Structure 1
Amino acid sequence: MKTAKPVADILAACLVLTAIGWAMSFQRRLGLDLYPQQFFAAVLFFTLPIAYLTMPARRGTERQAVPLHDVALAAVSMLAVGYVAIAYPTLVLQIFTRPPELWITGLIIILLTLEALRRSTGWALVLIIAAFILYALIGDMIPGRLQGRPQNWQLLAGYIAVDSNGILGLPMSVASTVVIAFILFGVLLGITGGSQFFTDAAMILMGRFRGGSMKIAVLASGLFGSISGSAVANVVGTGVVTIPMIKKDGYPAHKAGAIEAVASTGGQLMPPVMGAAAFLMAEFLAVPYSEIVMAALLPAILYYVALFIQADLEAAKLGIRRIPASQIPRGQMVAVGLHFVLAFAVLIYLLFWQRYQPERAALWSALALCATALVFGYGGIRPGVRALLGSIARTGYSVVEILLISAASGIVIAVLNITGLSFNLTYALVQIGGGSAILLLLLSAIVCIILGMGLPTLGVYVLLAALVAPALIEVGIEPIAAHLYVLYFGMMSMITPPIALAAFAAAAIAKAPAMATGWAAMRFGWAAYVIPVLFAFSPTLILIGDPGAVLFAALTAALGVWLISASLAGFFRGRLSRFKRTLFGVAGLMALVPEGAFEGALLTDVIGIVMGMLLIVSELLRRNPDPMTEASQ
């Protein structure tokens, strides 16, 4: 079939128009009383056929024409998902009675979703999700505390496909609303010249420094993430501008996506606003919100210091030079594009003063962007109405991979819920680690990350604050430290494979492999895996204790972050040998450990400081640093 492209274009446009209509509540104006899951099913109704009409069965090959079997799969997917969308009010009440029309339809949707995911992202995610499904079917055969409830496969198929904790659950909710709206905003930025304006502005601000684009991404995403409260929304909101900018600077695509994901995710930890979980934490602990802000301040600063240092060292390591002065645009030329700032001003105003839903705020901002671009333009670009309308279909194509990953994430969440695996993990954690703070912290971190897969940080925090934080407090950890600990690791699920929604969203924008982006995000975000363990043992890192001890902990922690970041990057003034990378890492860890973490920690601090300073001096005295590095500084 050679006429699939026009059909796919129509489906892509319908996908985005459906999301716009839902965000603007058109269904209510038409008198339609719909479940949100019917809307999510409608989005999947367009997503699956687009995947089969545009993605070849063999990844990496060029498609000349669409084979008939893919046309058939597209048609079957529309019939199955369309049936769920229409009959949802009836089907959702029949999950546990297992009528054939439900479990057969559910089985078709699951298999077609996994196959579309394989075509989009490869086998890794599909195999992981298949392992969860297998656990759901044979979990009762697993001995010990992780034994699951036995599941009938017909019940499982219907539950995954229809229940609000399955494919049509929270990840699909975020992707179908917030993600589509912000991706549309980003596509419009590209068409109207807005992306070029921000690239030019970045050159003026940071073009004379190496790694300027990554540093701008860290700053912008951290600030926006502090008040957005959603890592994924932040990725798609700022990443549509920063990721192309970083790639243009010469960074690999997966690293561009990774650093955006880490910067966006960390915004929920950055005072003064932080994410919604911080306000809930104040309620849990019955303390003023200002105490939460003060406790979170130093760890958040260390998190972003580590990220900023790695951005700088990565630029040096990759030999990314400073932009020649002749290539940096003139301020007067860039000032013409200041009208693009109005769209972002509208976005911020609607989000934080008018309390609009993110997707609706993004759509109004997109409208403001179109209006100013049609009047003023930028750099010789003044798009016509036809080009702006064409952005709708382009957006539809751009969000297919994110929607498929979100639908697949719902399968994992469904298994966690229906088998009782999430509760079993938490119960086992408390029982196994109840008498040992170190073991309990380690197990808590693992459970937080597992439970956070595909779930919003707020939901994970509520669960862990009720079930795990009391156990941490029981073994002597400060209450505020215990709650920050579970918040940190619940948040890190957003960049920790196998279900790392923020990293995968960034990968889709960067057009990079999802898993490679996830692993790179873990390396860039290493501080968030280490610092919570340290402040759990020594509250000086959350500004509790003698001011002198707090200042000493802050300074030694900053040195430790610098040394470890250099070790992970494999670069300081020049490339580091494996032996020196190891020394930098050991010295950094010793310096990072706060004085009050354990008896004798002061000695490790001193050793780490002395060792670190000697390593720094030895690097500064190097006679032959990398020539490309000298050129880029």
Structure 2
Amino acid sequence: MTTEIEQGTGLSRRIWHPMAMVLWSAITLTAIGWSLGLPRTLGISYYPQQLLAILLGLSVTVAFLSLPVKGNGIREGRLPWLDLGLSALALLATVWIVWGYPTFVTQVFARKPEVWLPGLVMVLLLLEALRRATGWALVIIIAVFLLYALFGNMVPGRLQGRAQNWQVLSGYMALDSNGILGVPMAVAGTVVVSFILFGQLLNTTGGSNFFTDGALLLMGRFRGGAMKIAVLASGLFGSISGSAVANVAGTGVVTVPMIKRDGYPAHKAAAIEAVASTGGQLMPPVMGAAAFLMAEFLGVSYAAVALAALAPAILYYVALFIQADLEAAKLGIAPVPADQIPPKRAVGTGLHFLLCFAVLIYTLFALSWQPERAAVAATVTVILSALLFGYRGERPALLTILDSVPATGRAVIEILLISGGSGLVIGVLNVTGLSFNLTYALVQLGQGNLIALLALSALVCIVLGMGLPTLGVYVLLAALVAPALIETGVEPIAAHLYVLYFGMMSMITPPIAMAAFAAASIAGARPMATGFAAMRFGWAAYLMPVLFVFSPSLLLIGPGTAIALTIATATIGVWLISAAIAGYMAQRLSGPMRALFALAGLLALVPADAFPGAVYSDVIGALGGLVLIAMNFLSAKGKQPVESGT
């Protein structure tokens, strides 16, 4: 049926959509070619910023083709002539910048029209494209920073900055490596695109179905199996999806109804899915796009970031998994019906999908390849294994695999636009001296007290993260908050992981909890109730960052014995606190017992090297907790199972 929009004036979808497909494909192929070093192999000399300008220009161009002025998603009807004109203008500005870049970059401060005019056009078009892709929140924040760059001399006090000439600022933002064409775009244009392509091919070849079926096979026969399936499937899928909300949408449509069918309240079913999906971006080996950017900011390998993030991420999922199990026991939820569990033989046909992760881990950690090259190697492995073996008797068609190329380009538009917008913020911080002033002001507010600074930083992280995409959140926090923590002596990687964790927690923290609200819409639950339930299930993510700031051993930094003791006692602590929150161990816990479990868990969670004498609190908490567990099991022995309740 022809829509009202289709009947209006403008370019028909039959014309503009193939154009968009070509541009989406060009984005993917340009990024992959760059990741593999094809230009150098072909003997082509270029500035890296020229390739970044191509990727950004293609993204802005196709954004005006495919994104409507109002509303979300891809345009379905005709393309208005104005949008066609803006798309052509973006393409023209891109060609001009790329062609003249070697000359223009040396003339930024000369205020020549051929430099600042295309720069101004590109900045304005980027902001409008970003508004269409993500909404007003990030655009308003960027606009505030740009206004500060122009009028920073009028700001009183410590935050006063150097006012910039608008012509110089336009050229600087569009051409300098500290502006739009900076580190965020470089990471997004190589690493992120490569991993998104990997994820797309896993999805189209049946890999995502294999992991969901595998989780169902492994956990379906246990109590609360649907909840455990959600934890496993969402964690696996979330580590490659790059977006908590996209993960909720991708796996939640399967897992949330399953949990509800088990008799679990709708808001709690949605909360478990939201917390599991959010944690995927904290879980190695892939993690989210922000982790690759973190490696660039810190000047370390991605493998180092992934290794440091491993233990806290596992403890995060251990806490969620234990709570799912204990909640199921408390409510008397039975296993998934046998007829809904796929047979082992059928699931076994997809074991070859594990090979791509083996290749990814081997090339990343053993061969020390760049992440983008490792992702391409894993992608090739997915394609070959899927064509050779298929899944559950079906092999993907070659056309389906080829469709992943434009699909990837379409999927990364938002990330590339956010990366360009993030470059504007970083450019302002550099050119005005605001980064130093903000760090100083934050340290002064904390008055040199690390605990006060951590609390203030956590609040800033959650507030800035509300309603913003993950990558944009991390770039802002890494520039504004992490330096203040490092200034007080916090390990740099701990500071960056701290802001990443609390930035991510904005996804499940009301009043704007995007992942929780997305899950609530699937479950038909109240959004705010889902958000508060998600905070309860995701409690570990609020506590874990504070612990690894005081004790790098939780990040696998330090002597092996200290690391082993920290992980062991932390696991016991997570178990005890999860039981206290669920109100159940072998039987329901009374109020005083819940308090004792929580106290013992907190003592056990504190790493032995957090402060002098902390080893004693570790031992007291762990041993006391084990005694409490034994008492609870002995008390429950011989009693009847708890009846189902709510």
2:281 alignment counterpart: 264
**SS state of the match for residue 58, structure 1?**
coil
Letter in 2 for 1:193: G
Match of 2:108 among 95, 103, 119: 95
Q: Give the letter for the 1:157 counterpart.
A: S
Alignment of 1:35 onto 2:47: yes
CA deviation string 1:273-329 (max 9, x = no partner): x99999x9999xxxxx9xxx9x99976664443343466689899999853211212
Find the partner of 1:323 among 315, 336, 354.
336
Equivalent-residue separation in structure 1 for 2:361 and 2:320 (angstroms):
25
Equivalent position of 1:486 in the other structure: 495
1:309-348 correspondence to structure 2 within 5 Å: 309=322, 322-348=335-361
Q: What does 1:348-359 align with in structure 2 at a 5 Å threshold?
A: 348-359=361-372
- 1:211 corresponds to which of 224, 227, 233: 227
Change (3 A) 1:54 1:313: farther
For residue 124 of structure 2, the aligned residue among 104, 111, 121 is: 111
Q: Which string of whole-angstrom CA distances, capped at 9 and with x for unpartnered residues, describes residues 593-626 of structure 1?
A: 6599899998x989x989x99xx99xx9999976
Alignment of 1:423 with 2:436, yes or no, is yes
Query: 2:265 — aligned with what?
Result: none
Q: Give the partner amino acid of 1:186.
A: G
The structure 2 residue matched to 1:376, chosen from 370, 381, 389, is: 389
Distance 1:249 1:488 in 2: 29
Distance 2:392 2:459 in 1: 50
Correspondence for 1:224 = none
For 1:169-196, what per-residue CA distance to the aligned partner results, in whole angstroms no more than 9, with x for missing partners?
2222222112222222222223322322
Alignment of 1:169-568 (within 5 A): 169-208=182-221, 209-217=225-233, 220=236, 235-236=241-242, 244-250=250-256, 259-265=276-282, 267=284, 302-309=315-322, 322-433=335-446, 435-442=448-455, 468-469=485-486, 471-472=488-489, 485-492=494-501, 495=504, 526-533=539-546, 554=570, 557-558=573-574, 561-562=577-578, 566=582
CA distance in 1, matches of 2:139, 2:643: 45
Structure 2 Cα separation of the partners of residues 102 and 253 of structure 1? 51
User: CA–CA distance in 2 between the matches of 1:519 and 1:172?
Assistant: 35
- Identify if the C-alpha distance between structure 1 residues 253 and 411 changes in structure 2 by more than 3 Å, giving closer, same or farther: farther
Instruction: Report deviation, 1:46.
Output: 1.8
Deviates more, 1:586-595 or 1:339-348: 586-595
1:136–1:529 distance in 2 versus 1, CA, 3 Å: farther
Give the deviation of 1:110 after TM superposition: 1.9
> In the alignment, is the contact (CA less than 8 A) between 2:319 and 2:575 conserved in 1?
no
Distance in 2 (alpha carbons) for counterparts of 1:163 and 1:381? 49
Between 244-253 and 535-544, the greater mean CA deviation after superposition? 535-544
CA distance in 2 between partners of 1:487 and 1:299 (Å): 14
Match of 2:31 in 1: 19
Contact between 1:191 and 1:388, CA under 8 Å: does it hold in 2?
yes
SS at match of 2:45: coil
User: How far does residue 74 in structure 1 lie from its aligned partner after superposition?
Assistant: 0.9
Kindly tell me: are residues 518 and 327 of structure 1, through their superposed partners in 2, closer, same or farther at Cα, counting changes over 3 Å? closer
Distance 2:390 2:332 in 1: 35
Checking the alignment, whether the CA contact within 8 Å between 1:448 and 1:489 is kept in structure 2 is: no
Q: Is the 8 A contact 1:488 1:528 kept in 2?
A: no
What is the distance in 2 between the residues matched to 1:136 and 1:318?
A: 57
Q: Percent identity?
A: 43
Contact 2:435 2:480 in 1 (8 A): no
What CA deviation, in whole Å up to 9, does each residue of 1:518-554 have, x standing for no partner? 999988765344344457679998999999x989975
What is the alpha-carbon distance in structure 1 between the residues aligned to residue 16 and residue 226 of structure 2? Answer: 45
Whether the 8 Å contact between 1:454 and 1:494 is mirrored in structure 2 is no
| Residues 64-84 of structure 1: per-residue CA shift (max 9 Å, x gap) | 211111111111111112222
CA contact (8 A) 1:496 1:521 kept: no
In the alignment, is the contact (CA less than 8 A) between 1:564 and 1:588 conserved in 2? yes
Distance between the aligned counterparts of 1:27 and 1:248, measured in 2? 43
**When the two structures are superposed, what TM-score results if normalisation uses the length of structure 2?**
0.71
* Alpha-carbon distance in 1 for matches of 2:422, 2:89: 22
Measure how far apart 1:148 and its partner are: 2.1
Give, in whole Å, the separation in 1 of the partners of 2:331 and 2:78.
40
Distance in 2 (CA, whole Å) between partners of 1:126 and 1:34 is 31
Change (3 A) 1:521 1:393: farther
Q: How far apart, CA to CA, are the structure 1 residues paired with 2:513 and 2:30?
A: 23
Residues 310 and 111 (structure 1), Cα distance of their counterparts in 2 relative to 1, 3 Å cut = farther
Q: Which runs of 5+ in 2 are unaligned?
A: 1-10, 258-268
- Measure the CA separation in 1 of the matches of 2:566 and 2:38: 54
Quickly say closer, same or farther: Cα 1:180–1:276, change in 2 above 3 A: closer
Distance 1:202 1:99 in 2: 60
Q: Does the 8 Å CA contact 1:132/1:412 hold for their aligned counterparts? A: yes
**Matching residue within 597, 602, 612 for 1:592:** 602
For the pair 1:157 / 2:153, whether they are aligned, the reply is no
Do 1:172 and 1:407's aligned partners in 2 also have CA atoms closer than 8 Å?
A: yes
Supply the AA of the counterpart residue of 1:359. Answer: E
- Could you say if the C-alpha distance between residues 429 and 241 of structure 1 is closer, same or farther in structure 2, counting changes exceeding 3 Å? closer
For 2:363 and 2:283, locate their aligned partners in 1 and report how far apart those are by CA, in whole Å.
23
Count, aligned residues: 580
Q: State how far apart, in whole Å, the 2-side matches of 1:253 and 1:72 are.
A: 43
Q: Which letter maps to 2:80?
A: P
Counterpart for residue 150 of structure 2? 137
Q: 8 Å contact 1:41–1:168 — kept in the other structure?
A: yes
Residues 235 and 419 of structure 1: is their aligned pair in 2 closer, same or farther, counting only changes over 3 Å?
farther
Deviation of 1:442 (Å)? 3.8
Q: Distance in 1 between matches of 2:325 and 2:594?
A: 17
Q: 1:470 to 1:103 in 2, by over 3 A?
A: closer
Closer, same or farther in 2 for the Cα pair 1:173/1:217, shift >3 Å? Answer: farther
AA aligned to 1:259 is: A
Comparing 88-97 and 297-306, the one that deviates more? 297-306
Alpha-carbon spacing, 1:560–1:484, altered in 2? closer, same or farther (3 Å) = farther
Deviations, residues 240-278 of structure 1 (Å, cap 9, x unaligned): 9997345421279997576344243254999xxx99999
Contact 2:235–2:283 at 8 Å: present in 1 too? no
Question: Gaps (5+ residues) in structure 1?
Answer: 222-231, 284-288, 473-480
How far apart in 2 are the matches of 1:550 and 1:438?
21
Name the aligned partner's letter for residue 212 of structure 1.
K
Taking only aligned residues, the RMSD between alpha carbons, in angstroms, comes to 5.6
Match of 1:229 in 2: none
